[in-house]
Amino acid sequence: MADSDDIKERARRALDRPSVFGDDLDLSEYRVEETEERRLDVKELTDEDRMLLEEVGFDVGQRSVAGSFMQFDNESVLADVMIKQEGLEVLPTRRALEKYDWLEDYLWRAVPVDADKYTALSELHGYDGYFIRAEEGAKIEMPVQTCLVIKKGRSIQNVHNIVIAEQGAELHIVTGCATPSHVERALHLGISEFYVKRDARLTFTMVHKWNEAVDVRPRTGVMVDTNGVYVSSYAILSPVKSLQTYPKVHLVGRNARADLYTVVYGTGTSKYDVGGLLSLEARGTRGKVISRTIATDQSQIIARGELQGRVNGVRARLECNGLLLSDSAGIRAVPILDASAEGVELSHEATVGKVGADQLNYLMSRGLTEDEATSLIVRGFMHLKAPDLPPRLQKAIDDAVRMTLEKGL
């Protein structure tokens, strides 16, 4: 394992390295604030904060969650684990690093610190974030909820999350990121490193609500071990200045599996560059990368997906489907299949189009107006069935989609 001086050095060398995808941001335009830890009771939340949290599905009452974590700007605020759940730990990352020496080994392993200027900046300017761990064999059935809120303008929210599902564990995380609409110009930098050990299951559900002034650069890496399962569902339904994310999932153990679902509802002049990469590195690994994108107004969406088959006997599928609802919007689907071994089975389907006249006429002939028919078709299009997701979390996504469409169309 590289020591921390070496990591710092690698980060420094990468500070000017632009990301492969997405607009190159000038990081000197933002303030990087000191992170601090402060405990806050959910009861102290203002009404505005409460509403914001609820919009991204955060259960402020914490009735049916296993644990909660909130972070406002760079102040991390830990709401206590309400339902005492055996085998679950939720801590701010920095505190976890102080508590556990071994955690160093997980830092910058799934995401390289010198990937680009964002990872570099994150390392060099001090971060916080959440550390969530399900111990060996622990089945945490209720979701752990996390929420990251940006309230200060011209700033960078710098988050580094580490999630570990130990051998045989089951863990569901639902996370919402939010910004009130009055915040001007901010950058959310989120490093997430997920480790799914042998026979473990991790689901990660994200519902995000940014605004037109926020640039978002998550950097996510996932390692899935033998028989492990990782499922992520990512819904971005609000405008954003720009979002560029390209999680990389490494299926490193035999029969490991990962499904990545992305739903984008593009509005305003937002630019979204989304997708994911699945690297199938061990025999019997399989997975899906599925995206449904809707572009309205002048939004621009790039939906990427990449499957890399590295050994014999792996199978994966890619679907990028886009629906264009405006003449000034754009969608580009970029599917990549990359096989470097015999017996690799990779497939893809990519479509971009507008709402079909046949579908519209059909629904209208049953008495729906054109707008009603359109929104029903769009909602159906955005409905992603993720069979591995607990019904409650599937519903959280469905509800978010429904709310967006009620407002949007």
Partner 1 sequence: MSTPEPLMQIMGLRVEVRGVPILRGVDMEFERGKVYAVLGPNASGKSTLAKTVMGLPEYEVKGGDILFEGDSILDKSITERARMGIAYAFQTPPTIPGVTLEEFICRICPEYLCRTSEDYLMAEQCTCRKELYDDFDRLGIGNLAGRDLNDGFSGGEMKRSELFQVLSMRPKIMFLDEPDSGLDYDSLKIVGRELRAIREEKSTTMVVISHHRYILEFLEVDKVYILQNGRVVYTGDMSVIPELEEKGYERFLAETAATT
Query: Binding to partner 1 by residue 328, rule CB under 8 A?
Result: no
> Could you say which of 24, 29, 338, 406 contacts partner 1 (CB under 8 A)?
406
Phi, psi torsion values for 217, nearest 5 degrees? -135, 80
- Six-digit token string for 374: 């359109």
Q: Is 371 helix (H, G, I), strand (E, B) or coil?
A: helix
> Could you say which of 20, 357, 387, 391 contacts partner 1 (CB under 8 A)?
357
**CB nearer partner 1, residue 336 or residue 376:** 376
> Could you say which of 379, 390, 392, 408 contacts partner 1 (CB under 8 A)?
379
β 67-72/75-77 pair status: antiparallel
Q: How far is residue 325's CA from residue 87's CA, in Å, rounded to a whole number?
A: 47
Q: How far is residue 194's CA from residue 192's CA, in Å, rounded to a whole number?
A: 6
β 155-165/186-196 pair status: parallel
> Could you say which of 181, 312, 347, 369 contacts partner 1 (CB under 8 A)?
369
> Could you say which of 376, 388, 390, 408 contacts partner 1 (CB under 8 A)?
376
**Given the rule CB under 8 A, which of 51-59, 73-81, 251-259, 379-387 is the region that contacts partner 1?**
379-387
Instruction: State the nearest-atom distance from the C-beta of 376 to partner 1, in Å.
Output: 6
**CB nearer partner 1, residue 141 or residue 399:** 399
Phi, psi torsion values for 366, nearest 5 degrees? -100, 10
Query: Binding to partner 1 by residue 349, rule CB under 8 A?
Result: no
Closest alpha carbon to 291 in 310, 314, 264, 316: 264
Query: Binding to partner 1 by residue 391, rule CB under 8 A?
Result: no
- Tokens 């806050």 belong to 40
Alpha carbon 132 to its chain's center:
15
> Could you say which of 377, 393, 396, 400 contacts partner 1 (CB under 8 A)?
377
Instruction: State the nearest-atom distance from the C-beta of 380 to partner 1, in Å.
Output: 3
Do 229 and 202 form a contact (C-beta atoms < 8 A)?
yes
The DSSP annotation for 185-205 comes to: SEEEEEEEEEEE-TT-EEEEE
> Could you say which of 76, 157, 375, 394 contacts partner 1 (CB under 8 A)?
375
**CB nearer partner 1, residue 8 or residue 402:** 402
Instruction: State the nearest-atom distance from the C-beta of 329 to partner 1, in Å.
Output: 21
Query: Binding to partner 1 by residue 351, rule CB under 8 A?
Result: no
Q: Within 10 Å of residue 175's Cβ, how many Cβ atoms?
A: 25
Query: Binding to partner 1 by residue 264, rule CB under 8 A?
Result: no
- Six-digit token string for 190: 């989120």
Cβ neighbours of residue 380 closer than 8 Å, sequence gap 6 or more: none
Instruction: Classify burial at 361, counting beta carbons within 10 Å of its beta carbon; exposed 0-12, middle 13-18, buried 19 or more.
Output: exposed
Query: Binding to partner 1 by residue 382, rule CB under 8 A?
Result: yes
> Could you say which of 48, 137, 356, 407 contacts partner 1 (CB under 8 A)?
356
Residues contacting partner 1: total by CB under 8 A: 26
**CB nearer partner 1, residue 347 or residue 362:** 362
DSSP 111: S
Binding site for partner 1 (CB under 8 A): 356-359, 361-370, 372, 375-377, 379-383, 402, 405-406
